Structure formats: structure tokens, C-alpha cells
Amino acid sequence: MNFTHHGPRRAVSFALLLPLLLAAQPVATDSYLPVLPEIARELGSASSSLTMFMLAFGIAQLVCGPLADRFGRRPVLLAGLACYAAAAAGCALAGSASALVAWRAVQGVAMAAILICARAAVRDLYPAHEGPHIMARGLTGLGIVALMAPIAGAWGVHTIGWRWVLVAMSAYALVLLALCWRTFSETRQVQAESAPLLSSASTGGMRQVLANPSFRAWTALAAATYGGIFCFLLLSPMVYIDLFGLSPVLYGWIPAGGSLVYILSTLWCRRLLSRHGPVRTVQLGASLSLLGPCIQVAGCILAPASPIPLLVGHAMYALGHGLHQPCGQAGAVGDLPQLAGRAVSYSGFVMMCVAFCAGQLAAHFVDPTMRNGAWPMVLPMALAGMALVLIAFVWLPLLSRARAAQMTQP
């Protein structure tokens, strides 16, 4: 096998490009949230466009991964950025709710192509042991954009209207398309023999990815931590606004504060990885991810009328989340350089499935009277914390010992 058209200069360029590519997700989601009320007033419906966007994003990952392995990262990435820009422009011009939903679905598919190629290229360009460090750097940039995107979206819809917010999304993608066209060369590892796309995607490639022990362990870690944070994002508006009576403006600072903690955590993750390695790093993260919900549980029992324990617990969980995600996303593809696209797509699909199922189950226990208090938000985070502790302190050490024993065998 060999690498095509990339070297140290390309690796450095991609390290700077990676945060911008990963940030395509908060640009498409976080900046879109403030425009939903205006869209609803003009077109009559808006929530279905966000649901369809996330559904298309989750399912499209299963297709985009094999395409990136078959045809290369560059063409799939460029096509994804072009479709992302066109879909955002189509949303800006939408004259009905159904047209908006259709264009947002296209944008979700395009975003899947962008994120899969970005994550797969990390494995192409860097050794497995450097992957978590590079992903931590990229996710720091994503966190910064996630912090600014809702503010920018709210300012945009207030000053120039919701359609121009979507025009700005399209412009962002066009700038990225130009940058990638000039600086991003093909990174895929070329094999001497390449199986047909459909058979490779549906049989051997999928079996090889799912049978890999490292893929299963690190994907489970990433899915568990994402499931917990997704339940917070889904249910926290009802808890803090309906239960505790916070204003929507005041509530907006809570996820923004979580994004700030996440940014600091990804910076911390890079230092921990250099000193202790990924397993020790996620063990510390798992301890924080369990400590946070434990503080929240204590608050629900001892001080149910106070939001302070929930806020402190959320900060602890977000701190652990910033340690888990770089390690989990990079570790899932570490042993699969030839199938990095598929590994990224399957890992992302599992994460979305776990988050969707956990969120839907937790939402069943929320009603307008909030008779269950904050428990529907807290208990899923506690379960995620316990799962993370088991993965970090039991599963991953067993995997490391098995690998060490295999390497010592003649």
C-alpha cells in the first residue's frame, strides 16, 4: 500500500483545516436553533426540518463511509461541501415548510460526508497513537464554534432575518470548499486490489470493522458519553425553564457554559494524552462523568428546588466528555487504516442510534407539569457515567492486556 500526494506540508495544512471541517456540524445546528421561531412564524413549521436533518445525517454515514474508502476522501469531501453549500442556499430560498425539510435533509447527508472524510483523513495522515491528540485539537475548534454559533445565529435573525443566517451557512461551506480544493490532497491508503463497492461495503468490510475489538470498545465509549450529553441537550430546556423558571435568555448561558468547559477539557486532554496515554485519560474522564451525575442525584434528593447541583454536575460531565470524545473517535479507527471511512461511518451511526434511543426513552418521562422533576435528565447521564466507568476501568484494560500478550508471543 502507499499514500498518495501528501507529506508533512499536507499534514500541517490538514491539522489547521480539521477544526473548520468538524465545525460544519455546529454551524448547521447551533446557529440554526435561534432561527426556528422565525421560520415557524413565516412557514408554519420548523421542528420537522431539524429532525429530518439529524435523521439524514445519521443514516447517510452508512453510505458515505464506504464511498470514501472506495473513491477517496477528496472527491467525497468536495462533493459534500458543494452539496452543503447548495442545500443551505436552498433552505434560504425555501417558500414552504416541505421545501425547507427537503433541503435540510440534503444538508444532513452532505454533513455526513464532510465529517466522515475529516475523521478518516486523521487516520490516513497520522499514526494511531497520534490520532487522539489530533482529534482533541480539532474538537477544540468545534467547541469554539459551538460556543459562538448560537450567538451569531441569534444576532443574525434579529438584525437581517433568518434567511440570511442560512446564506451565511452556505458562504461558510463555499469558503471551506475553496480551501479544500487548494490544500487538501487525497489521503486514502491505496490497496493493490480493491473489491467492488457494494460487496466490500456489505460483506467483508463491515465484518472486519465490527469484528475489531478496538473498534467495539472505543465506539462504545464514544457512544456512551454522547448519549449522556444528548439527553442533557434534549431535556435541559424543560428542566431549567419549565421546572426552575429560568428565562430562555438566561438558560442560553447554560449550554454555552458547557461548551466552554468542553473546550477547556479538550485542551486538557492533549496534555493528559502526552503524559498518560489514552486509557489513563479516559479513566479520569469516566470518573468525572460519573461524579457529575452523582452530584445531580444528590441535588435531586437533598435540594430539589435548587438548580445549582445540576449545573455543577453538568460541568463535571462536560469535563469528562471532552476527554472521551477525542480518544473514542480516534481509537475506533486506530486499527483499521484501510477501512477508516467505514469505521468512522459505523462508529458515528452507533453514536447517533444510542443518543436517539436514550433521548426518546428519557423524553417519555417528561410531561408539561414536570412531576418527575429533573430525574428524566439526570438518570440517563448517571447510567452513561456508570457505563463509561465499566468501559474505561474494565473493558479497555482487558483489551490492552490482550494486545500486550499478543505482541509478546513469538
Higher-pLDDT residue of 268 and 359 is 268
Residues 188-224: tens digit of each pLDDT: 876 544 444 444 444 557 889 999 999 999 999 999 9
Residues 29-71: tens digit of each pLDDT: 888 877 777 888 888 766 678 778 888 998 999 999 999 999 9
What are phi and psi for residue 165, nearest 5 degrees? -65, -40
Contact (CB, 8 A) for 58 and 352: yes
For residue 51, the model assigns a pLDDT of 75
For residue 201, the model assigns a pLDDT of 44
Highest average pLDDT, of 13-22, 151-160, 290-299, comes from 290-299
**Segment (H or E) for 189:** strand 189-190
Per-residue pLDDT for 386 more than 70? yes
Per-residue pLDDT for 267 more than 50? yes
Contact (CB, 8 A) for 273 and 140: no
Mean pLDDT of the chain: 87
Average pLDDT score over residue span 356-377: 88
Residue 342: closest CA among 180, 228, 221, 211: 211
Per-residue pLDDT for 360 more than 90? no
- For residue 8, CA distances in Å to 74, 125, 126, 268 come to 17, 9, 10, 26
For residue 5, the model assigns a pLDDT of 47
Contact (CB, 8 A) for 66 and 93: no
Average pLDDT score over residue span 367-385: 93
| Total-model pTM | 0.82
DSSP string computed for 192-210:
SS---HHHIIIIIHHHHHH
**Segment (H or E) for 40:** helix 36-43
For residue 197, the model assigns a pLDDT of 46
For residue 352, the model assigns a pLDDT of 86
Per-residue pLDDT for 107 more than 60? yes
Per-residue pLDDT for 23 more than 80? yes
For residue 129, the model assigns a pLDDT of 83
Residues 155-168: tens digit of each pLDDT: 887 788 889 989 99
For residue 6, the model assigns a pLDDT of 47
Q: Over the range 131-154, which residues count as b (16 or more CB within 10 Å of their CB) and which as e?
A: bbbbbbbbbbbbbbbbbbbbebbb
For residue 16, the model assigns a pLDDT of 83
Per-residue pLDDT for 380 more than 80? yes
C-alpha to C-alpha distance for 265 and 268, rounded to whole angstroms: 5
Contact (CB, 8 A) for 24 and 6: no
